Amino acid sequence: MAASPRQDYDFRANTNPSDPFSKVPPMSLAAAPRRCLAVILAAGEGKRMCSDMPKVLHRVGGRSMLAHVLAATAEAGATAVAVVVGPERADVAAEARSVRPEARIFEQRDRRGTAHAVLAARECLEEGWDEVLVAFADTPLVTAETFGRMRDSLAAGNVVTALGFEARDPTGYGRLVLQDGAFVAIREHKDATGDERRITLCNAGLMGLSGARAIELLSGIRDDNAQGEFYLTDAVAEARRLGLPVGIVKAGETEVMGVNDRAQLAAAEAVFQNRMRATAMRDGATLTAPETVYFSHDTRLGRDVTVEPNVVFGPGVSVADGAVIHAFSHLEGATVRQGASVGPFARLRPGADLGPEARVGNFVEVKNAQLEAGAKVNHLTYIGDARVGEGANIGAGTITCNYDGFGKYRTTIGKGAFVGSNSSLVAPVTIGDGAYVGSGSVVTKDVPADALAVARARQSIIAGWAEAFRRRMRSAKSS
């Protein structure tokens, strides 16, 4: 569910902005919407992925990691987005614009650190925003709700908000340093003291900045650290130096998981799938073996849908109330309407549209075809580029011959038609309402309504032929 645009706040509420975990005051519904810019850092090379494709274009739940971040920030109310890419990364820019066409692209040619990367989008930052969210395109699991809480922290008066998490093993992570309960700095692991390395509250990398102060804070960051880079994390210390309030928003460790290699990509996929399974069941679907069902980011299941084991939903699938997806079925780009049944061992390809109470059975493939209400295609059949009318029955082994090596052609099967087993319907062809096609027919011409088409050679019987054939073959083999 998309979040509504966040509003300004009534600061008459009792709050302490210097407390990093302070409660956010309630929204004032009369206030004007706050303007938010999302800056997405997508310039990483991802060498550990060992791939010709940029890391941020690798997919989780059928969607690029970059697209996940763009969608979450948009849902959290970011009204504009700047994407920082590496040199000559038109592919990353194109992916960003496919999700948010208004995205502005900036290039980071020199790798001088995360603050340097954010400043690559200076042109956007200068346009005046209430809040700036800085996110990483290789951290795809952060939710819109978490981004929203970061915005809330900024709206409550903090000029910097860091996203933190409690790490089971903090080695390698930046630490969120508190003194007397006040948030004072983020210390990179390599720069941390022994005491600081014992801190388990760690930096997730994502940060919120006051739009009015963003450039001032970023410009004040220095590169006097072990790496000689401009760390975005130093925005906290810079804000403290200026006497400005800073805060922390906490998320779960799995939510802020970054992806740097294939193993971490698989781990992110597992987290994503568990989220989708939980959502499906919470919203009224039955998954008989949840751990074996795989979803795409945009899968939609209605109430009282039943999904049996080992089902895969590719992108673009919606399943209406009361439908059943039987075991070992694969669906992509398909619509399954109320009460329809799919599988087991069925494949619905893009453009498949099953009407109410339609039936697609085992080892049936449907592509770019509409099955109207109550139509039945129960086994061992291919239906492509076709319309199957209401209540029609398609026998086992039937295929629509839709491709001649150059073009695709449509088959139309009318309401209440009956197509016998092992028939080939050579498109373009129409089987009229109520017509019958005899089993084993190869139909190349239209069949009128309520007619019978039989298109096969007349059967001939030659008595004794088989025994004579076997004698000849045995004799030839022995000689």
Catalytic residue numbers, as ranges: 379
- The tokens describing 400, both together, are 């629509």
Taking a C-beta distance cutoff of 8 angstroms, is the pair 392, 414 a contact? yes
Phi/psi at 6 (nearest 5 deg)?
-75, 150
In Å, what is the CA distance from 102 to each residue of 105, 147, 296?
A: 10, 20, 25
CA count, 13 A, side-chain hemisphere, 472: 6
CA atoms of 204 and 193, how far apart (whole Å): 19
Taking a C-beta distance cutoff of 8 angstroms, is the pair 84, 42 a contact? yes
Taking a C-beta distance cutoff of 8 angstroms, is the pair 296, 62 a contact? yes
In Å, what is the CA distance from 114 to each residue of 5, 37, 128, 320?
A: 28, 17, 21, 45
CA atoms of 390 and 374, how far apart (whole Å): 6
- The tokens describing 341, both together, are 């049944």
Give CB contacts under 8 A, 24+ apart, made by 220-227.
221/115, 223/112, 223/113, 225/188, 225/191, 226/188, 226/190, 226/191, 227/113, 227/188, 227/190
CA atoms of 248 and 21, how far apart (whole Å): 6
CA atoms of 415 and 374, how far apart (whole Å): 10
